[in-house]
């Protein structure tokens, strides 16, 4: 052995141990920071399916991706795309998004996914010079994963949005921006309550407007040069990946200036060999009704969205080879999303019921495996058998009505009945615990029985004297409706205020 060999080896071993310690420390630190970022980061982009769910999808699952502003995620109904046409789509958009951010959303999609077609909404091409507010930047950027594309996006924003060096670094590293969100964290920051969301939530809100007088407008208006560059980059990037592009404009109450800008987009698209569907030219063809089809001046509601979506789906099926994915393994996400949207239709129907008798008529014929919890509570019999005819449609007889209690129905069939008072039952679902219980409370010097229906710790029993009903879907852990009728106030149902998911 060489005399100096032993100290050398000892030093080598010591260095190795130090390297291991450094690697472990860095790994733990990065893991901790990653966990913090996962919780504190913004989960939503102001609409659409969002980045979090986007990255969780398999690269070849969604065949059609939709991009753009709120006009994209308020217009394309993925329930219709899936249930009526078998199209597996995803909307990756952001509220008030400009075409520059749309460009980088598309680049990220083509970097990580393999769509058959991309469809780009064109409101972001209108207006003058591109200006992104801090809120717009946060909404668009922070959910995107670190990559060369992310770095390019940040460089573009820094150079074009007069972003200072400090702000650029804070946004690039994300945590300096999101760490202060601790006061506004919700359950959804820790666990996604709608992991099946692919981009459309919908609305039954309705406002009426005059139909825009744009039929005779053939002139074009100048488009901002930077916007044109971004649109050209979108088309070139898609061509490089051999993915066809479809451009479209949603129907809205637009000005003559906006229509002229869309005419310019159409001319540019024609030069590029790309289709552009301006639905503001198709009001009559797809039967857009300005009395019924809009939630506000800028956005269609569910009725208008259905008309646009069907036209778009038929165009895509006719012009591109896109498989019907219904019944295929690995597409449960779209099945769950369609169920979620059907449940929202049911919720609207229940909310529109004129009285408890119509409400009971609706729930007696429900499908989709809904769970119904119905509790008679307090002085529900003060007006005699006022509820009995409606309850009979659910198989509740006079003897049970007299006894009171709580009934649980699943798939349209009675599963459990707890007569009288003093009951307690707990149901476990994938995301919630549902507790049904009868409690005795003192009120005005008297002891009174009260039904409680708790989901996630919140009581959804709406009244103390009458009927309480909760409609819940266990498959997607969705509260469809919670409503009650106070026997002292008539037969009109009182509904809970649900948080929009």
CATH assignment of the domain containing 201: 3.40.50.1110
Q: What is the mean pLDDT of residues 260-266?
A: 98
Q: What is the pLDDT of residue 26?
A: 61
Asked if residue 213 and residue 327 are part of one domain, the reply reads: yes
Asked if residue 421 and residue 320 are part of one domain, the reply reads: no
* Cβ pair 247, 118 in contact under 8 A: no
| Nearest by Cα to 174 from 135, 134, 142, 133 | 142
Q: What is the pLDDT of residue 1?
A: 44
Q: What is the pLDDT of residue 2?
A: 47
Q: What is the pLDDT of residue 366?
A: 87
Asked if residue 135 and residue 85 are part of one domain, the reply reads: yes
Asked if residue 387 and residue 287 are part of one domain, the reply reads: no
Residues 6+ apart with CB under 8 A from 19: none
Q: Is 474 within the bounds of a domain?
A: yes
pLDDT classification of 184: cutoffs 50, 70, 90: confident
Helix (H, G, I), strand (E, B) or coil at 251: coil
Q: Is 346 within the bounds of a domain?
A: no
User: Final residue of a domain: which of 316, 341, 366?
Assistant: 341
Q: What's the chain's average pLDDT?
A: 91
Asked if residue 211 and residue 87 are part of one domain, the reply reads: yes
Q: How far is CA 127 from CA 101, 225, 260, in A?
A: 15, 11, 11
Does the pLDDT at position 171 exceed 90? no
Q: What is the pLDDT of residue 68?
A: 98
Three-state DSSP string of 157-176: HHHHCCCCHHHHHHHHHCHH
Asked if residue 399 and residue 320 are part of one domain, the reply reads: no
As a whole number of angstroms, the distance between CA 451 and CA 462 comes to 10
Q: What is the pLDDT of residue 47?
A: 83
Q: What is the pLDDT of residue 100?
A: 97
Q: What is the pLDDT of residue 253?
A: 98
What does the pLDDT look like over 379-430, one tens digit per residue?
999 999 999 999 999 999 999 999 999 999 998 899 999 999 889 999 988 8
Q: What is the mean pLDDT of residues 320-339?
A: 97
Count of the separate structural domains present in the chain: 3
Q: What is the pLDDT of residue 30?
A: 60
Q: Supply the range of the domain harboring residue 185.
A: 41-341
What does the pLDDT look like over 196-238, one tens digit per residue?
999 999 999 999 999 999 988 999 999 999 999 999 999 999 9
User: Final residue of a domain: which of 289, 308, 341?
Assistant: 341
Q: Is 347 within the bounds of a domain?
A: no
pLDDT classification of 498: cutoffs 50, 70, 90: confident
213-217, 370-374, 439-443, range with the lowest pLDDT: 439-443
Q: Is 416 within the bounds of a domain?
A: yes
As a whole number of angstroms, the distance between CA 356 and CA 379 comes to 17
Q: What is the pLDDT of residue 36?
A: 59
Q: What is the mean pLDDT of residues 188-202?
A: 86
Q: What is the pLDDT of residue 192?
A: 80
Q: What percent of the chain has pLDDT over 90?
A: 74
Does the pLDDT at position 3 exceed 60? no
Asked if residue 290 and residue 223 are part of one domain, the reply reads: yes
Does the pLDDT at position 116 exceed 60? yes
Q: Is 501 within the bounds of a domain?
A: no
Highest mean pLDDT among 43-47, 94-98, 99-103, 418-422: 99-103
Q: Higher-confidence residue: 290 or 189? A: 290
As a whole number of angstroms, the distance between CA 297 and CA 299 comes to 6
Pairing of strands 424-428, 433-443: antiparallel
Q: Higher-confidence residue: 205 or 440? A: 205
Q: What global pTM score does this model have?
A: 0.90
Residue found under tokens 């809009």: 294
Asked if residue 177 and residue 58 are part of one domain, the reply reads: yes
Q: Is 321 within the bounds of a domain?
A: yes
Q: What is the mean pLDDT of residues 439-463?
A: 86
Q: Is 348 within the bounds of a domain?
A: no
* Cβ pair 99, 245 in contact under 8 A: no
Q: What is the pLDDT of residue 490?
A: 95
Q: What is the pLDDT of residue 5?
A: 54
Q: What is the pLDDT of residue 430?
A: 81
What does the pLDDT look like over 8-67, one tens digit per residue?
555 577 777 777 767 776 666 565 556 556 666 666 667 889 999 999 999 889 999 999
Residues 6+ apart with CB under 8 A from 272: 232, 235
Asked if residue 395 and residue 324 are part of one domain, the reply reads: no
Q: What is the mean pLDDT of residues 479-497?
A: 96
Edge-to-edge strand order for the sheet containing 117-121?
Answer: 89-93, 64-68, 117-121, 245-249, 276-278
Asked if residue 430 and residue 409 are part of one domain, the reply reads: yes
**Cα-to-chain-centroid distance, residue 373:** 26
Secondary structure letter of residue 43 according to DSSP: -
Three-state DSSP string of 123-161: HHHCCCCCCCCHHHHHHHHCCCCCCHHHHHHHHHHHHHC
Q: What is the pLDDT of residue 179?
A: 62
Find the farthest-apart pair of alpha carbons in the chain and give their distance in angstroms, rounded.
106
**Cα-to-chain-centroid distance, residue 111:** 23
Q: What is the pLDDT of residue 25?
A: 64
Asked if residue 47 and residue 30 are part of one domain, the reply reads: no
Joined together, the tokens standing for residue 284 give: 């009559």
Q: What is the pLDDT of residue 19?
A: 75
Q: What is the mean pLDDT of residues 314-339?
A: 97
pLDDT classification of 136: cutoffs 50, 70, 90: confident
* Cβ pair 93, 221 in contact under 8 A: no
**Cα-to-chain-centroid distance, residue 147:** 26
Asked if residue 101 and residue 145 are part of one domain, the reply reads: yes
Q: What is the pLDDT of residue 11?
A: 54
pLDDT classification of 181: cutoffs 50, 70, 90: low
Q: Is 500 within the bounds of a domain?
A: no
Q: What is the pLDDT of residue 273?
A: 98
């Amino acid at each position: 052995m060489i005399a100096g060999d032993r100290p050398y080896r000892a030093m080598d071993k010591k260095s190795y141990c130090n390297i291991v310690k450094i690697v472990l420390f860095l790994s733990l630190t990065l893991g901790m920071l990653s966990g913090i970022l996962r919780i504190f980061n913004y989960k939503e982009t102001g609409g659409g399916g969002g980045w979090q769910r986007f990255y969780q999808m398999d690269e070849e699952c969604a065949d059609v991706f939709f991009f753009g502003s709120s006009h994209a995620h308020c217009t394309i109904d993925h329930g219709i795309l899936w249930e009526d046409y078998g199209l597996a789509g995803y909307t990756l958009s952001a509220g008030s998004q400009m075409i520059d951010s749309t460009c980088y959303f598309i680049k990220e999609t083509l970097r990580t996914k393999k769509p058959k077609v991309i469809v780009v909404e064109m409101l972001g091409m209108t207006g003058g010079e591109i200006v992104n507010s801090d809120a717009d930047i946060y909404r668009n950027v922070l959910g995107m994963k670190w990559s060369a594309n992310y770095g390019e996006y940040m460089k573009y924003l820094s150079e074009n949005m007069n972003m200072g060096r400090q702000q650029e670094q804070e946004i690039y590293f994300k945590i300096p921006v999101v760490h202060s969100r601790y006061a506004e964290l919700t359950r959804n920051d820790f666990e996604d309550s709608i992991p099946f969301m692919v981009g459309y939530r919908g609305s039954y809100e309705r406002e009426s407007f005059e139909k825009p007088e744009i039929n005779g407008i053939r002139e074009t208006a100048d488009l901002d040069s930077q916007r044109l560059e971004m649109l050209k980059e979108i088309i070139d990037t898609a061509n490089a990946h051999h993915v066809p592009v479809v451009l479209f404009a949603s129907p809205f109450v637009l000005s003559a200036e906006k229509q002229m800008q869309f005419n310019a987009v159409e001319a540019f698209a024609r030069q590029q060999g790309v289709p552009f569907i301006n639905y503001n030219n198709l009001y009559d063809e797809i039967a857009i009704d300005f009395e019924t089809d809009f939630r506000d001046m800028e956005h269609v509601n569910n009725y208008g969205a259905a008309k646009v979506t069907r036209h778009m789906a038929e165009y895509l099926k006719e012009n591109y080879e896109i498989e019907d994915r219904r019944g295929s393994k690995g597409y449960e996400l779209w099945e769950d999303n369609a169920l979620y949207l059907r449940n929202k239709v049911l919720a609207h129907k229940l909310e529109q019921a004129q009285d408890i008798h119509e409400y009971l008529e609706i729930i007696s014929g429900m499908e989709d495996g809904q769970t119904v919890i119905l509790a008679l509570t307090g002085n529900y019999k003060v007006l005699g058998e006022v509820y009995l005819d409606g309850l009979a449609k659910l198989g509740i007889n006079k003897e049970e009505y007299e006894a009171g209690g709580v009934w649980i129905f699943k798939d349209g069939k009675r599963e459990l009945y707890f007569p009288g008072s003093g009951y307690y039952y707990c149901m476990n679902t994938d995301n919630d615990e549902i507790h049904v219980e009868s409690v005795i409370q003192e009120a005005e010097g008297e002891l009174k029985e009260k039904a409680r229906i708790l989901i996630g710790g919140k009581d959804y029993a709406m009244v103390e004297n009458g009927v309480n009903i909760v409609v819940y879907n266990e498959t997607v852990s969705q509260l469809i409706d919670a409503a009650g009728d106070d026997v002292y106030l008539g037969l009109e149902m009182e509904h809970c205020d649900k948080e929009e998911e």
